[in-house]
């Protein structure tokens, strides 16, 4: 496994308590749209076993052609040790990234694609939208729906409607699920979902109630994790 240590170049304040850490692009490092990585802080690999309190999964909110690795996250006043260390980091300090992989590249299957996200989950979709705006081949229409109870919506420069891309933001879960029900009238669409595990389960339930099949739902999970969300295993399963 290759670990890339790379400096923070810039910290962009996207919204209250929400920051994008722009990291220098190391030689040879690349990724596909929708990728997530392991984002780790100094000391995470000092002992025999990795110190998990210094590692988080994070999506990469940029594309390689932007020339920086973007990591977008919320750091609230009450936060984990990881986030409190991150909050105090300065330009030039190094972080580590490793095990980078995309479970959710843009599928160019001639269908409409719906990107459903909660809060900072929109970060996963930003590079997918940029990729689509650059080359829309094989995607009939792209639509994003983001729910954020703070109503401080992210990346509004990218998530602006065009002829073939539409973006919608709502500020309550109730309005979100009502809107998803309407979107799910498209029985042939592909539905990408990003957010907390509870958000995924709730969204899958709404989609499945409307007759959308498992094959049409795309999650940022490895194959071996998918059954837990679709077949009723686990404590918060759909069947319970």
Contact between 21 and ligand FAD (CB under 6 A)?
no
Contact between 102 and ligand FAD (CB under 6 A)?
no
Measured from the CB atom, the residue of 117 and 186 that comes closer to ligand FAD is: 117
CA distance 126 to 135: 14
Number of H helices, E strands in the chain: 5, 11
Neighbouring residues of 60: CB distance < 8 A, sequence distance ≥ 6? 31, 35, 36, 37, 69, 70, 71, 100, 127
Q: Which of 23, 54, 58, 180 binds ligand FAD (CB under 6 A)?
A: 58
CA distance 97 to 57: 10
Identify residues 185-224 at the interface with ligand FAD (CB under 6 A).
220
Q: With CB under 6 A as the contact rule, which of the stretches 77-85, 131-139, 151-159, 171-179 interacts with ligand FAD?
A: 77-85
Q: Which of 20, 59, 117, 144 binds ligand FAD (CB under 6 A)?
A: 59
How many of the chain's residues bind ligand FAD (CB under 6 A)? 17
Query: Which residue has tokens 């690999």?
Result: 45
In contact, 67 and 26? CB cutoff 8 Å: no
Contact between 78 and ligand FAD (CB under 6 A)?
yes
CA distance 139 to 155: 22
The torsion region of residue 39 among left (phi > 0), alpha (psi -120 to 50) and beta comes to: beta
Shortest distance, CB of residue 163 to ligand FAD, whole angstroms?
29
Measured from the CB atom, the residue of 84 and 135 that comes closer to ligand FAD is: 84
| DSSP labels, 182-223 | HHTT-TT-EEEEES-HHHHHHHHHHHHHTT--GGGEEESS-H
Measured from the CB atom, the residue of 76 and 181 that comes closer to ligand FAD is: 76
Measured from the CB atom, the residue of 10 and 57 that comes closer to ligand FAD is: 57
For the CA atoms of 187, 229, 130, 102, the dihedral, rounded to the nearest 10 degrees, stands at -130
Measured from the CB atom, the residue of 17 and 168 that comes closer to ligand FAD is: 17
Identify residues 106-125 at the interface with ligand FAD (CB under 6 A).
120, 123
Contact between 38 and ligand FAD (CB under 6 A)?
no
Q: Which of 6, 74, 111, 166 binds ligand FAD (CB under 6 A)?
A: 74
Q: Which of 11, 45, 83, 238 binds ligand FAD (CB under 6 A)?
A: 83
Binding site for ligand FAD (CB under 6 A): 36, 56-59, 72-74, 76, 78-80, 82-83, 120, 123, 220
């Amino acid at each position: 496994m290759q670990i890339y240590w790379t400096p923070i170049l810039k910290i962009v304040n996207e919204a209250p308590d929400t920051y994008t850490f722009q990291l220098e692009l190391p030689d040879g490092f690349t990724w596909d749209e929708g990728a997530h990585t392991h984002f780790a802080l100094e000391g995470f690999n000092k002992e025999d076993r990795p110190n998990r309190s210094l590692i988080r999964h994070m999506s990469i909110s940029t594309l390689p052609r932007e020339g920086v690795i973007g990591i977008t996250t919320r750091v609230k006043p009450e936060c984990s040790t990881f986030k409190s260390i991150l909050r105090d980091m300065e330009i030039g300090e190094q972080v580590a990234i490793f095990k980078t992989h995309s479970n959710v590249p843009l599928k160019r299957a001639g269908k409409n694609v719906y990107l459903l996200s909660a809060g900072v989950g929109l970060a996963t979709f930003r590079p997918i939208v940029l990729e689509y705006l650059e080359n829309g081949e094989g995607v009939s229409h792209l639509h994003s729906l983001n729910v954020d109870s703070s109503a401080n919506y992210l990346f509004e420069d990218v998530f602006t409607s065009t002829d073939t891309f539409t973006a919608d933001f709502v500020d309550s879960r109730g309005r979100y699920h009502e809107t998803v029900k309407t979107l799910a009238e498209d029985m042939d669409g592909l539905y990408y979902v990003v957010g907390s595990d509870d958000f995924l389960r709730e969204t899958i339930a709404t989609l499945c109630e409307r007759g959308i099949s498992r094959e049409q739902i795309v999650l940022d999970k490895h194959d071996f994790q998918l059954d837990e969300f679709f077949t009723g295993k686990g404590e918060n399963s759909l069947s319970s």
